[in-house]
Structure 1
Amino acid sequence: AVDEAIAELSAYSKTPAYKTTVTNLMVQGCFSLLEPEVTVRCRQEDMALVESVIPEAQKIYTTEVAKQAKGTTKTVVLKLDKQNPLKGKAGGVVLSCNDGKIRVDNTLDARLRQLEEKDKPNLRKVLFPVQA
């Protein structure tokens, strides 16, 4: 099931909707880090797409900070790391700051692993039903 999901996510990364997803993943990562400079890593095949949405992600972040923390102005500079592409199959981004000491893994692979981990109780019920 996980392999099928990764295959579907990999196919999703070739759709127009993926552009919005990547932008949102970057913004969410910036909110987790709350740093003025953030490095972004992505798959080699996503480099051009990620680079193209960086200005939009920066703008959304600044706008959302102003909305949520009224009167607060906070900006972020996102820098694409072109030297160290990610090896994941499904796409997404990893954001880091402080020379990589703090990281947010917002790859689709990581999101899938989180869902898999959260759903273990339901999987147990299906695989090992209680015998009456």
Structure 2
Amino acid sequence: MNDADVSKQIQQMVRFIRQEAEEKANEISVSAEEEFNIEKLQLVEAEKKKIRLEYERKEKQVQVRKKIEYSMQLNASRIKVLQAQDDLVNSMKEAAAKELLDISHHHHNYERLVKELIVQSLLRLKEPSVLLRCRKADFHFVESVLHSAKEEYANKAKVHSPEIIVDHIHLPPAPSDEDVHASFCSGGVVLASRDGKIVFENSLDARLDVVFRKKLPEIRKSLFSQVAA
């Protein structure tokens, strides 16, 4: 083989090696680009997922805040409604309490009422000896009906006429515009056993409280049933 043939063969080998190198380089470049694109796509998808999750988290936070705010507003509205209802009910009770003051002004009717309250109190206590308290202004009413009240109780309970001691300590007077915070009593009586262990409050104010507590569900239903509906 002469030099020309050797040179030609070497050139062919060089071209073959170069071509293989270029093909391999192209394969590596394509493979690298594919891997890059796949990795880029994965990164983009990961970021999208991250952004989507963050958005969902913030959306949930917004929904939770909205629910909390709505619940707070709803509770505040309910409290206002309940407060308005309580104010109305209390104003009715105050109006009724003011009307109690007129009862003692009708002397004949009030005297009969005092007697009935004493008899009722004796029937509740069923004690042979009791202590009675009344307003200073009602002392003469109590004195005038005391004997007949004891006799009526004795007949109803079928016992001996009880001993009733009218206490020198009086119940508070009627309400006064001069001192609206002072203790007051609209009338009636309070009886207690001699040892003070049993007390039956039969004042007009106490009776109003009892009746009002008993009738409160009925009052609320009558006033606010349409509102609730």
Matching residue's letter, 1:42: C
The answer for unaligned runs of 5 or more in structure 1 is: 67-72
The structure number with the bigger radius of gyration is 2
Partner SS, residue 90 of structure 1: coil
Residue in 1 aligned with 2:149?
Answer: 57
In the other structure, the counterpart of 2:102 is 11
Is the partner of 1:3 in helix, strand or coil?
A: helix
Determine if contact 1:42/1:92 at 8 Å carries over to the other structure: yes
2:115 is aligned to: 23
- Spell out, residue by residue over 1:40-63, the C-alpha distance to the aligned partner (whole angstroms, 9 max, x if none): 101111011112211111111111
The list of structure 1 runs, each at least 4 consecutive aligned residues, that deviate by more than 4 angstroms after superposition, is none
In 1: Cα distance, 2:143 partner to 2:167 partner: 10
Residue of structure 1 aligned with 2:214, choices 104, 118, 122: 118
Q: How big is the shift at 1:74?
A: 2.8
**Structure 2 partner of 1:86:** 171
**Matched pairs, number:** 124
In structure 2, stretches of 5+ residues that fail to align are 1-91, 173-183
Residue in structure 1 matched with residue 49 of structure 2 by the alignment: none
TM-score between the two structures when normalised by the length of structure 2: 0.51
**2:185–2:203: 8 Å Cα contact kept in structure 1?**
no
CA RMSD in angstroms comes to 1.5
| Structure 1 segment 91-102 matched on structure 2, within 5 A | 91-102=187-198
1:18-40 CA-partner distances (Å, limit 9, x unpaired): 11111011011111111110111
TM-score computed with the length of structure 1 as normaliser:
0.86
- Give the Cα separation in 1 of the matches to 2:157 and 2:166: 22
Determine helix, strand or coil for the equivalent of 2:228.
coil
How far is 1:108 from its partner? 0.6
Given the alignment of the two structures, is residue 103 of structure 1 paired with residue 199 of structure 2, yes or no?
yes
Is it true that 1:41 corresponds to 2:133 in the alignment?
A: yes
The SS at the match of 1:119 is helix
- Structure with the bigger percentage of helix: 2
Matched residue type, 1:114? V
Percent identical pairs in the alignment equals 35
**Aligned equivalents of 1:47, 1:58: Cα separation in 2:** 16
Q: Relative contact order (C-alpha < 8 Å, sep 6+): which is higher?
A: 1
CA apart distance, 1:119: 1.5
Aligned equivalent of 1:130: 228
Flag the structure with higher strand content.
1
The one-letter amino acid of 2:115's match is T
